[in-house]
Amino acid sequence: MSQQKEPLFQAETSRHDKKRPLVKNCIKAFVVGGIICTIGQLVTVLLIIYFPFTEQTAGNPTVSIMVFLSMLLTGFGLYNKLGQFAGAGSAVPVTGFGNAVVSAAIEHRSEGLVLGVGGNIFKLAGSVIVYGVVSAFFLALIKTLLIQWGVL
Amino acid sequence: MTKTWIFESKPAILSAGISGGPFEKESPFAKHFDFFSDDLYNEEKSFEKAQRSLIEKSITNSLEKGQVTESEVDALLMGDLINQLTPSGFAARQFDIPYLGLFSACATSMQGLALSAALIDGGYCEKVLTGASSHNAAVEKQFRYPTEYGGQKPPTAQWTVTGAGVVLVGKSTDPLAQAYIEKATIGRVRDINVSDPFNMGAAMSLAAADVIERHFIHSGDTVDDYDFIVTGDLAEIGHSITKDILSERGVSIPDEKFLDCGKMIYGNRPEVLAGASGPACSALMIYGYFLDELKAGNMKRILSVATGALLSPLSFQQKETIPCIAHAVAITSHKGGVV
């Protein structure tokens, strides 16, 4: 048996490699992410002016509305096109989380509502939830300890 | 020692059935394909079922154009990328033809053609149907993310072709003969240490270069004997690397002779990034465009090298590198042998 892996060619493959256009991607992500957040801010302001919400309570309904909008865009097949253009700009805001949930739900509809949609809806978003909760726990633990010790 | 299979009786390709999706309809080579579905579902309930229906359509068209009934065909050799080859197996359920499922990932088309030629040359079969298929959304679903997920793909990523390409292979004496299968070199599995599933072309480059080099050594042919050397779905990056490896090994192929179906099929559309991929990529181009050119006499002999990445969604999550395969088949417009 001859040596099957030929690491010698690693240099060879990287020569033709197409790098992600980092600066361009960052600018696009900044602009699109900024626009999404501005829309979110607008929703918050409208909620405070026209509905009985305060600056403290307007957060949750804003998130719901933004996720709803991202759901519509995903359903109409537009969010993946936005994602290819904006990258992190459309993935990091809460609309990206909505897209991850809804796209998985649509994709697995063919396997039924229970095993398909139910079983796969958090296929992508699940790890965000798991590590979000875990890191929140550890942060809270650190804060509690620091308060106990009188540091904070 | 490994060797090239030489088919003395020169089995012939008698007819082809090529189907594609709506995106393939816009291909500059669309006039060489014969059926397109209106959307990715092709009136079915899921992407996988749509793929099955495209395979059935291609088989039916191939039988019709080859003027044969199912009972006259001795074997059906098909493959695709979906788990347990369900689209191929389910399509085969519709036909009364003995079936063999094939898997060489995107190199399946040439695995099928080489085996069909061997079965006919060896006298085991009179007529064989062989082909390969893929479906963009079904593959995305199995290997990557949901179709509507807004992840950003890197410029090295490739676009899986939706479609199915099937040919009927028979004896060279058949009046419908369009082109002849002369020889085939079966590839070895090679690994160039690429583990990024969004850079499949680079992963496949070594396997492609290896089989091309071996084909020339074992068959005694030279680059000059071929009008074109056509790889399956290496796309921009993989194709350049393959050329580098070959020239390092003393096989120099002029640029105008060295083509890649993955670079050709969609023209210059930016959304396909580095190019096309999928078992249907080489099946559509070789059995569609190149077969028509050979039949018309515009090309005398081509070496078709389909390339496949033997990964699974599990293997790359477990951080394995991607072993790859390529098979080379020499197809000629000339029955007589020497061109």
A86 neighbourhood in chain B, CB within 8 Å: 152
Interface test with B, best of A16, A76, A111, A128 (most B CBs within 10 A): A16
Enumerate the domain spans of chain B: 5-170, 181-332
Our CA-based measurement puts residue A92 at a distance from the nearest CA of chain B, in whole angstroms, of: 11
Residue A29 near residue B217 (C-beta atoms within 8 A): no
Domain span holding position A29: 22-121
- Which residue from B minimizes the CA distance to A16? B237
Does the pLDDT at position B237 exceed 90? Answer: yes
Does the pLDDT at position A4 exceed 70? Answer: no
- Which residue from B minimizes the CA distance to A25? B152
* Residue A1 maps to a domain: no
Q: Helix, strand or coil for residue B17?
A: strand
* Residue A7 maps to a domain: no
Of residues A13, A17, A80, nearest to B150 (C-beta): A80
Does the pLDDT at position A145 exceed 50? Answer: yes
Does the pLDDT at position A13 exceed 80? Answer: no
Q: What CATH number was assigned to the domain covering residues B5-170?
A: 3.40.47.40
Query: What is the share, in percent, of chain B residues with pLDDT greater than 70?
Result: 98
Does the pLDDT at position B338 exceed 90? Answer: no
A17 neighbourhood in chain B, CB within 8 Å: 156, 199, 202, 237
* Residue A16 maps to a domain: no
Under the banding of pLDDT at 50, 70 and 90, the label for residue A63 is very high
Mean of the pLDDT values across residues B138-156? 92
Residue A86 near residue A28 (C-beta atoms within 8 A): yes
Mean of the pLDDT values across residues B254-281? 95
* Residue A17 maps to a domain: no
Mean of the pLDDT values across residues B213-237? 96
Under the banding of pLDDT at 50, 70 and 90, the label for residue A10 is low
Same domain, A104 and A29: yes
Does the pLDDT at position B24 exceed 60? Answer: yes
Mean of the pLDDT values across residues B211-232? 96
State pLDDT tens for residues A39-48.
999 999 999 9
Mean of the pLDDT values across residues A19-44? 96
Residue B284 near residue B262 (C-beta atoms within 8 A): no
Question: Which ipTM value was assigned to this complex?
Answer: 0.85
pLDDT at position A12, please?
64
A7 neighbourhood in chain B, CB within 8 Å: 193
Could you tell me which residues of chain A have a Cβ less than 8 Å from any Cβ in chain B?
Answer: 4-7, 9-10, 12-13, 15-21, 25, 74-75, 77, 79-84, 86-88, 90-91, 96, 99-100, 102-104, 106-108, 110, 123-124
Same domain, A85 and A135: no
State pLDDT tens for residues B246-266.
999 999 999 999 999 999 999
B206 neighbourhood in chain A, CB within 8 Å: 6, 9
* Residue A10 maps to a domain: no
Asked if B297 has any chain A CB less than 8 Å from its own CB, the reply is no
Q: Which residues contact B231 (CB under 8 A, 6 or more apart)?
A: B208, B238, B239, B242, B258, B259, B260, B261, B262, B305, B306, B307, B326
Give CA–CA dist A46/A43, Å, rounded: 5
Count how many Cα atoms sit within 13 Å of the Cα of residue B218 in the half-sphere of its side chain: 20
Residue B339 near residue B303 (C-beta atoms within 8 A): no
Does the pLDDT at position A56 exceed 60? Answer: yes
* Residue A65 maps to a domain: yes
Between the alpha carbon of residue B101 and those of residues A31, B90, B274, B304, the distances in Å are: 50, 11, 30, 21
Give CA–CA dist A24/A31, Å, rounded: 11
- Buried residues in B71-99 as b, exposed as e (16+ CB within 10 A): eebbbbbbbbbbeebbbbbbbbeebebee
B323 neighbourhood in chain A, CB within 8 Å: 4
Nearest to B184 by CA among B34, B49, B16, B2: B2
pLDDT at position A9, please?
56
Same domain, A30 and A92: yes
Between the alpha carbon of residue B336 and those of residues A107, B173, B179, B219, B332, the distances in Å are: 52, 12, 11, 17, 10
pLDDT at position B15, please?
97
Same domain, A129 and A144: yes
What fold characterizes domain B181-332?
A: Peroxisomal Thiolase; Chain A, domain 1 (3.40.47)
B5-170 shares its CATH topology with B181-332: yes
Mean of the pLDDT values across residues B282-304? 97
Q: Residue B335 phi/psi, 5° resolution? A: -75, -35
More confident call, A13 vs A29 = A29
Q: Mean pLDDT for chain A?
A: 91
Same domain, A29 and A76: yes
pLDDT at position B339, please?
43
A6 neighbourhood in chain B, CB within 8 Å: 190-193, 206
Our CA-based measurement puts residue B190 at a distance from the nearest CA of chain A, in whole angstroms, of: 6
* Residue A71 maps to a domain: yes
Our CA-based measurement puts residue A2 at a distance from the nearest CA of chain B, in whole angstroms, of: 11
CB contact under 8 A, B149 and A83: yes
Our CA-based measurement puts residue B199 at a distance from the nearest CA of chain A, in whole angstroms, of: 9
**Number of domains forming the structure of chain A:** 2
CB contact under 8 A, B148 and A102: yes
Of residues B45, B149, B240, nearest to A99 (C-beta): B149
Does the pLDDT at position B334 exceed 90? Answer: no
Mean of the pLDDT values across residues A80-106? 95
Same domain, A115 and A83: yes
DSSP for B269-320 reads -GGGTT-EESHHHHHHIIIIIIHHHHHHTS-SEEEEEEEEE---HHHHHTT-
State pLDDT tens for residues B148-177.
999 899 999 999 999 999 999 999 999 999
Same domain, A28 and A89: yes
Q: Which residues contact A134 (CB under 8 A, 6 or more apart)?
A: none
State pLDDT tens for residues A111-137.
999 999 999 999 999 999 999 999 999
CB contact under 8 A, A18 and B191: no
Same domain, A97 and A136: no
State pLDDT tens for residues B68-87.
999 999 999 999 999 999 99
Q: Is residue A32 packed enough to be buried (19+ CB in 10 Å), middle (13-18) or exposed (0-12)?
A: buried
pLDDT at position B79, please?
97
Same domain, A64 and A108: yes
* Tokens 């160039």 sit on residue: B192
